[in-house]
Amino acid sequence: MRKFEDSLPLQLLKAREASMLFFRPLLNEYALTEQQWRVLRALYEYKEMESKELADSCCLLSPSLTGILKRLKQQDYIKCQKSADDQRRNLISLTNKAQTLIQQLSPVVEARYKTFTDRYGEQKLEQLMVLIKELSIIEP
């Protein structure tokens, strides 16, 4: 068996935690959790999504997403509406307030990403992203 420290899942968790040190304080300033930010970012990029699709995109379990959506709705960051095509479908999208928030945060988030680029170089980060994406679709 591999040494404990050489465990791939452990190293990925450590890398995630280390990278979040760059972003977590910023999110805390705006009273956002990491999970809430992922939901807002997904909706910003994809405009509107169904709950299941959003949960999958954000790597969240449906019960967790339900609570996150409830809090985001209370903060007036999201709105839910029935699809015009199919009344059974509930579509989630951002409010103007959330779009403004993301536009405010975007330059700061990009500056934090620039820290990674300056430290490791564009090529290494691109290689890392390719490897991570390959790992994320691996099947046992």
Q: Pull the structure tokens for residue 81.
A: 């509406």
Q: What integer pLDDT is reported at residue 140 of this predicted model?
A: 78
Taking all residues of the chain, what is their mean pLDDT, rounded to a whole number? Answer: 92
Distance CA 129, CA 12 (A): 12
Strands (DSSP E) contained in 22-89 are 48-50, 78-82
Q: State pLDDT tens for residues 84-105.
A: 777 677 899 999 999 999 999 9
CA 52-35-124 angle, 5° bins = 105
Distance CA 39, CA 8 (A): 26
In the chain the domains, ranked by start, together with CATH numbers, are: 9-136 (1.10.10.10)
Residue position matching structure tokens 């564009």: 122
Q: State pLDDT tens for residues 15-51.
A: 999 999 989 999 999 999 999 999 999 999 999 999 9
Is the model's pLDDT at 83 over the cut of 80?
no
Bridge partners (DSSP) of residue 91 are 50, 81
Looking at residues 103-120, what average pLDDT do you find? 93
Q: What integer pLDDT is reported at residue 108 of this predicted model?
A: 94
More confident residue, 140 or 128: 128
